[in-house]
Amino acid sequence: MSVDRDVVRGRIVAAASELLATGGPDAVTTRAVATAAGVQAPTIYRLFGDKDGLLESVADTVFAEYVDAKQVGHETDPIRELQDSFLAHIRFGTRNPGLTAFFADPLRPRSATEEKGIAVLRQRVHRVALAGRLRIPEERAVALIRAIGNGTVLALIESPEPERDSPLVENSWEALAAILLTDAADRADQQTRAAALRLRADDTALAALSPAERMLMREWLDRIAGA
């Protein structure tokens, strides 16, 4: 791709990003983007194929910057890191309502950038499991965090910013933490499940077993954890 082509593509994506931020996906029409970017409509079709292709590029560009900033730490407290990540997701979603509306379409295939973001979340949940603080299986925890996080964002952006229920974010995290996390006051059965999930997550500890034994051990640990 030539430099000029890169420049034009970047200008189109920037114009579409602004329209998406201010008016949502419906505002990103070929005509509006072409006018804002100072190009002819056929240029957009040539570079992006159609409106959906343009929206995908815009979403990937904006979301990639957010995902790239979500580094998983190894010295930080895994619970604090998970909470901070949850709150950051809420902030990003409410500040980018147009992008949120685009991502909310359940029939749209996930992009590689979205998959990368989910992979980061899995790493954070895995760290909580290794710390012996996870109450439910990792994949279920990831699904629950995404469901509550995305639902909270959608509930917030339904209202104008001055009218939003600000305690909803804190309440959402508290409800999520009560389901996800164990503490010292938990009953013995909950602590046993957390220990099973911790061992299941510990690849180093299970490395002494053969692949078949690891598969069987994880099946047993899933049963203990009530997966």
List, for residues 116-155, the tens digit of each pLDDT value. 889 999 999 999 998 889 989 999 999 999 999 999 999 9
Residues 22, 79 share a domain: no
Residues 90, 8 share a domain: no
Residues 102, 52 share a domain: no
Residues 80, 57 share a domain: no
Residues 19, 101 share a domain: no
Asked whether the predicted pLDDT for residue 6 surpasses 70, the reply is: yes
Boundary-marking domain end, from 46, 65, 84: 65
pTM across the whole model: 0.71
Number of domains composing the chain: 2
pLDDT-above-90 percentage for the chain: 31
**Structural domain harbouring 91:** 70-225
pLDDT at 213: 85
End-to-end CA distance of the chain: 49
Residues 74, 60 share a domain: no
pLDDT at 2: 47
Average pLDDT, the chain: 85
Residues 112, 168 share a domain: yes
Can you spell out the DSSP letters for 117-173? HHHHHHHHHHHHHHTT-B-S-HHHHHHHHHHHHHHHHHHHHTS-GGGS-THHHHHHH
Residues 218, 177 share a domain: yes
Q: Which residues have CB under 8 Å from 49's CB, separation 6+? A: none
* pLDDT band at residue 187 using 50, 70 and 90 as cut-offs: low
Boundary-marking domain end, from 9, 33, 65: 65
pLDDT at 66: 78
Question: 208: helix, coil or strand?
Answer: coil
Residues 90, 45 share a domain: no
Domain CATH for 34: 1.10.10.60
Residues 61, 96 share a domain: no
Top pLDDT among 110 and 46 is at 46
Residues 106, 49 share a domain: no
pLDDT at 17: 86
Boundary-marking domain end, from 42, 65, 88: 65
List, for residues 165-186, the tens digit of each pLDDT value. 889 999 999 999 999 998 755 5
Other Cβ atoms closer than 10 A to 68: 12
Residues 148, 38 share a domain: no
